[in-house]
Every structure is written in C-alpha cells, then in structure tokens.
Structure 1
C-alpha cells in the first residue's frame, strides 16, 4: 500500500489533484493489481471505461465551434445547483447532466472509505468518463452541468489546506487539465450559510466530507477560495432558484452567448420563497 500511495503522490504532488487522465489511470490500475478486499468487478469496469473514454479533445467533431454551449454550475452542497441546473436547462431547451455519472454511484462509497489519494483518483477519472457523454450531448443541445472539474480541484484542496496554506494564486494546480474538454462558461452558486445548512439537514445523512464542511468554517472558506482561484467561475447569488436562473441568463446575453431562454417575470419571482 505504501508503494501505491507513493506512486499516487508522484502525480498529485501532495495536492491530491490529478492533472491528466493518464495519471488517474496509473493510480487506479496499480490499485487494481493489489487485489485489495474491497475492490470488485465494478471497480474494474470503471477502470476499463476510463481507459476507453475520449483520448483527445482536439478532435474536430468536439471543438467548441461545432457544438452547443456547455455550462457548468459549481458550489458547495446545498446551494441549489441541481434545481438551478434543471431549471436552466429547461429554459434553454438543453439537457441537464451531473458528475460523477450516476452509473458509478454504487462504487463511490467504496472509494469514500479509502485513502484520499484513491478517492481523488476516482473523482478525477469520473470527470473524463463523463466527458464523452457531455460532448456528444452538446452536438445537439445546450448542456447544463451540475459540477465538473472545479469541484474536484476545490474539494481536494479544501480537505488538505486552509486559506493561508492553499497553493498560491496562479499555481498550475488551479489550471483546467489540458486533456479534458473545457466548458464555455462556468458559475459559482452561493447562498447564505444558514440557508445552505438548513437545506442540507433536509436531505439524506451527510457524508463525512459534507459533515466537515458544515462544521468547519475554515474548510468552507478554503473551498470557496480554491474555486475562485480557478478563474473559471462567475459568482451567482441564489436567493431563490428562479432569481439565480435569471442572473445566469442575463450573463449569457451580456457575453454574447446566443440562447432562447426567457427570464422569469417579476410575478413569477414573487410567487416563490427563498431556498
């Protein structure tokens, strides 16, 4: 196990952020070879799927000029990303997707119980597996994505660092991986912390990472700062999901991203309460 973790560290450099598909694969293949008690056939299928996922984002059929926009929504759990993404996709006549892909939800708990290096390899690998479906969907329709690479990066760093000890602004760790398709635009959704925690309490039991986020203000601050340092996300306050959707539609219009979305009217905004 020590040799496996040493191999993983040679790729994530102590940040627990993997920079390429090949790095994730090497760690996961090495894990598979150890025949650990928790590893099962589905884990092997995950590795095989990752191996066969898109090899290059330079393929002309996947270029940003020949596909519909890919919009990614990021933010902490409980800020309303899922509701906002589905509503926004409906407004844009697009398709809502999320990462990690739900087809691998059965093995996520297995990785959650392993060393952080292996968990982050799973999350990173999931980004590449999701990419093929995202790109194919974007050939026909706008894609609104609930989480992608920025979450993988921000949460890995927030688990290891404080706002004082995060890698400095401009560090390569915050750069989008060169072998992963990049969205056209990204948004960081945020709400008041009391609202976020109230929404979380209404859900199923929190996993250990979310429990820490709820309990530790420093971890939340580190995650928020890591998101900001990617310089890929535009902040959107979400007093309610319709207001957030309107803000996003307005931003798309300002940036010249053509869309068919019609904002909610004032009366439609008034008829719902805050999150």
Structure 2
C-alpha cells in the first residue's frame, strides 16, 4: 500500500484532486494489482470502462455541430440538487445525468470506504466515464448534470484542509481538467444549514462523508469555499426546487438562451415546503 500512496501523492501533490484521466487511472490500476480483499469483478469492469474511454473527453473529441447547453448543478447533500435536476430537465425537455453514473452504484460504497487516494480516484474516473454520454446527449437536447468535477474537487479538498489552509484562490487545483469537457453553465445550490441537515436526516441514508459534513461545520465551510474558488458556479439559495428552477431559467434567458419554457407560477412555488 505504501507504493500506492507514494504514486497517488506524486500525482495529486498531496491535494487529493486528480487533474487527468491518466492520473486517476494509474491509481486505480495500481489498486487492482494489489488484489485487496474488497476488490471484485465489478471493480475490474469499472477500470476497464475507464481505460476504454476516449483519451480526451472534450468538445473537440466530438463531431462539430450545434449542440444544446450542458448545465451542472453542484452543492452539498440535502440542498435540493436531485429534485432541481429532475424539475429543470422536465421543464427544458432535457436529459438528466448523474456522476458517478448510476450503473456503478453497486461499487460506489466499496470505494467510498477506502482512503482518500483510492476513493478520489474512483470519483475522478467517474467524471470521465460520464462525459461521453453527456456530450452525445447535448447534440439533441439540454443536459442537466447532478454533480460533476467541481464536487470531486471540493470534497477532495474538504477531506484534507480547512478554510484557512486551502490552496489559495487562483491555484491550479481549482481549474477544470484540460482533458474533460466543461459545462456551459454551472450553479452552486445552497440552503440554510438547518433545512439541509433536516432533509438529510429524514432521508435516512447518510454515507460516511455526509455524516462528517453534518457534524463538522468547518468541513462544510471548506467544501463551500472550494466550490467558490473554482469560479465556475453561479450561487443560488434554494427556498425550494421550483424556485431554484425559476432562478436558473431567468439566468439562462439573461445569457441569451432562447425558446425557454414558462417558469413555475408563484402558486406552484408556494406549494413546495422546505422539507
């Protein structure tokens, strides 16, 4: 394991944020070679899928042509990302996408239980696995992505640093990877912490990382600050998911996106309770 951690540290420079497909793949391949007790056939399939992804998953990798916007929604668990993603996709007649892709939900808990070097390689790799289907879909419809690379970056840093020890604003760690396509629009959703934590508790499915976020205000603050320092996300306070959709639609209209749907009415927004 010491050799694996040395490899990972050399690649992410102690930040636990991998900046290329090659970097996270090297760590996952090295993990596979250790034949650890928890590693199974599906983990091997995941590595093979990542290996077979096109080398650079960017717009330049695909045929030129007019495509629809790719919109990413980011934020901590419990802020309403999934409901907002679903409602926005429905309004726009678009497609929902999620990272990590649901096809790998069976092995996600296995990787989540590992140390940061391994778990972050899994989450980073998932961004690349999801990217081709996101880009392909954008040629026919709006694509709304529930979390993408910014979450991987923010949570990797929140597990390692505090707000006072984060790499400075403008550091290269916050830059979107050059071999991964960027979304056209990004939004950071947030709510009052009481509302967020109540939603998460009522769902009853906190994972270990979310439990830490719920208990540690410093970790939440660090993740939020890391999101901000990417400078890729427009912040939106989310009274409820319908209000969030209306704010996003207004933002898209302001940015020149045409033929947008009618927003939710005031009565429709008022129907939705915070939790």
TM-score, normalised to structure 2, is 0.97
Residue 125 of structure 2 corresponds to 125
Whether contact under 8 Å (1:66, 1:139) holds in the other structure is yes
Structure 1: how far apart are the matches of 2:165 and 2:66?
Answer: 41
Query: In the alignment, is residue 170 of structure 1 matched against residue 140 of structure 2?
Result: no
Residue 33 of structure 2 corresponds to 33
Structure 1: how far apart are the matches of 2:59 and 2:274?
Answer: 43
Q: CA-to-partner distance for each residue in 1:22-50, whole Å, 9 max, x for gaps?
A: 00111111111111111111111001100
Unaligned stretches of 5+ residues in structure 1: none
Structure 2: how far apart are the matches of 1:23 and 1:185?
Answer: 26
Structure 2: how far apart are the matches of 1:62 and 1:259?
Answer: 25
| Greater CA drift, 48-57 or 89-98 | 48-57
Structure 2: how far apart are the matches of 1:74 and 1:205?
Answer: 19
Query: In the alignment, is residue 81 of structure 1 matched against residue 89 of structure 2?
Result: no
Listed as ranges, the matches of 1:208-223 within 5 Å are: 208-223=208-223
Whether contact under 8 Å (1:54, 1:131) holds in the other structure is no
Residue 104 of structure 2 corresponds to 104
Q: Secondary structure of 2:261's partner?
A: coil
Q: Secondary structure of 2:128's partner?
A: helix
Residue 72 of structure 1 corresponds to 72
- Closer, same or farther in 2 for the Cα pair 1:133/1:88, shift >3 Å? same
Q: CA-to-partner distance for each residue in 1:125-147, whole Å, 9 max, x for gaps?
A: 00000001111111111000100
Structure 2: how far apart are the matches of 1:24 and 1:131?
Answer: 15
Query: In the alignment, is residue 43 of structure 1 matched against residue 43 of structure 2?
Result: yes
Structure 2: how far apart are the matches of 1:271 and 1:58?
Answer: 40
Q: Secondary structure of 1:202's partner?
A: helix
Whether contact under 8 Å (2:74, 2:151) holds in the other structure is yes
Whether contact under 8 Å (1:62, 1:135) holds in the other structure is no
Residue 113 of structure 2 corresponds to 113
Structure 2: how far apart are the matches of 1:264 and 1:145?
Answer: 21
Residue 245 of structure 1 corresponds to 245
| Greater CA drift, 95-104 or 168-177 | 95-104
Residue 145 of structure 1 corresponds to 145
- State the 1:203 CA deviation: 1.1
Aligned length: 274
- State the 1:76 CA deviation: 0.3
TM-score, normalised to structure 1, is 0.97
